[in-house]
Amino acid sequence: MTGDGIFFVLVGPSGAGKNTLIERVREFTPDMTQVPTMTTRGRRGNEQEGREHRFVTRERFQQAIDNGELVEWQRVHNDDLYGTPRDVVETAVALGTDLIADIEFLGAEKLREAFPQHTVLAFVTPSDLRILADRIMQRGDITPEELAGRLNRARFEMTFAPECKYLVINDTREAAAEALRGIVATERSQRHNQAIDPAERVPAHRIDATCTAVIQRGDDLLLRDGKLPQFRLNPHGARFDLAARDHLESLLGTPLEVIGPQDDRFDYPAPSYVTVTGAAPHFSLNYYYRFIFPAGDQSTPLGWEWAPLSSVQLPDMLSELVTS
């Protein structure tokens, strides 16, 4: 595709604050257009038809799929469908207009495949799943089942972070907006030859993924050197916990069952908990995966030790899962 428009795609769990960030970006970049994605969900509060979304019926959405009007589409929450209109992206890219959108990660991946030269993925997340849970609850109007569903979805979504070019930690709105401003300025200076203060230039981020293995047998956890075992995942490893399991099984010499949120769209369970540390351009994501040691195997692998659950410090949300 010709043209030099940039398509900034913000990815990240629900509650990460992507929409507020889009509003802020558009304040300092008025010539950037928000992509109105097509959706079957109803219009909310102060949303405008054609700004955040094109609100359509299921029949119209199906027609758009059949006619190839959407670059990608997904079922997101509550069975509502969302899709990116091809005409908006192709026209903007060709005209050199920059776009921004909030797209869930399966769709974002397809956009990058469809427009590899134009799509810039930035992952937006708070530094801790706990902050996300608190924010979703503060929005109110949410049942415990909906909250659980969103958090499970977030756990899957977080595994996509290492595959994005940038990571924006959104614990405070101002810092996140500032980080995104630097990213936008950097990409624009490269693509459109716009002048940029060298101090503002942001290199592509390095996002390392670590697995912390919570290996449980009844009321005990398996430790090495007094700590939960940790190892680096390969760059795309956060989504392939089975590789993590294979690694652990070979270390321990015993089969392990990995448990975590399941979703029929994914053939692997999600991590149970995720934290983000570091600062641009180098971040570390820590994925806590839960494993069950065979109950009938009373052995202690050489170099490891069993410790009672109550003696091991775990993040609250994880502790609740492990002890329930």
Residues within the interface to ligand 5GP (CB under 6 A): 14, 37, 41, 72, 74, 76-77, 82-84, 102-104, 107
Instruction: Specify the residue, 50 or 226, whose C-beta has the smaller distance to ligand 5GP.
Output: 50
Residue 122 to residue 10: CA distance in whole angstroms: 5
Closest distance of CB 78 from ligand 5GP, Å = 9
- The nearer residue to ligand 5GP, 84 or 186, going by C-beta atoms, is 84
How far apart are alpha carbons 152 and 262 in whole angstroms? 8
Q: Measured at CB, which residue is nearest to ligand 5GP?
A: 107
For residue 223 the two structure tokens come to: 């430790």
Q: Which is nearer to ligand 5GP, 84 or 286 (CB)?
A: 84
CB-wise, 89 or 322, nearer to ligand 5GP? 89
CB of 248 to ligand 5GP, least distance (A): 32
Determine contact, residues 121/165, Cβ cutoff 8 Å.
yes
Q: How far is the CB of 72 from ligand 5GP (least distance, A)?
A: 6
Of 76 and 228, the one with the shorter C-beta distance to ligand 5GP is 76
Q: How far apart are CA 168 and CA 139, in angstroms?
A: 21
Shortest separation between residue 136's beta carbon and ligand 5GP, angstroms = 11
Find out whether 107 and 91 touch, Cβ atoms under 8 Å.
Answer: no
Least separation in angstroms between CB 37 and ligand 5GP: 3
Nearest distance from residue 102's CB to ligand 5GP, in Å?
A: 5
CB of 107 to ligand 5GP, least distance (A): 2
Nearer to ligand 5GP, 74 or 286 (CB): 74
Residue keyed to tokens 């913000």:
10
Dihedral sign, CA of 102, 106, 110, 115?
positive
Whether 290 contacts 174, CB under 8 Å: no
Closer of 60 and 77 to ligand 5GP (Cβ)? 77
Burial 288-317 (b: 16+ CB within 10 A, else e): bbbbebeeeeeeebeeeebeeeeebebbeb
Going by C-alpha positions, the residue among 7, 12, 124, 152 that lies closest to residue 71 is 7
Amino acid identity of residue 161, one-letter, is: A
191-200 contacts, C-beta under 8 A, 24 or more apart: 191/4, 191/6, 192/4, 192/96
> At its nearest, how many Å lie between ligand 5GP and the CB of residue 43?
10
Instruction: Return the number of the residue (151 or 221) whose C-beta is nearest ligand 5GP.
Output: 151
47-70 core/surface letters (b: 16 or more CB in 10 A; e: else): eeeeebbbbbeeeebeebeeeebb
Return the closest-CA partner of residue 70 out of 103, 22, 21, 33. Answer: 103
**Which CB, 40 or 272, lies closer to ligand 5GP?**
40
- Closest distance of CB 300 from ligand 5GP, Å: 45
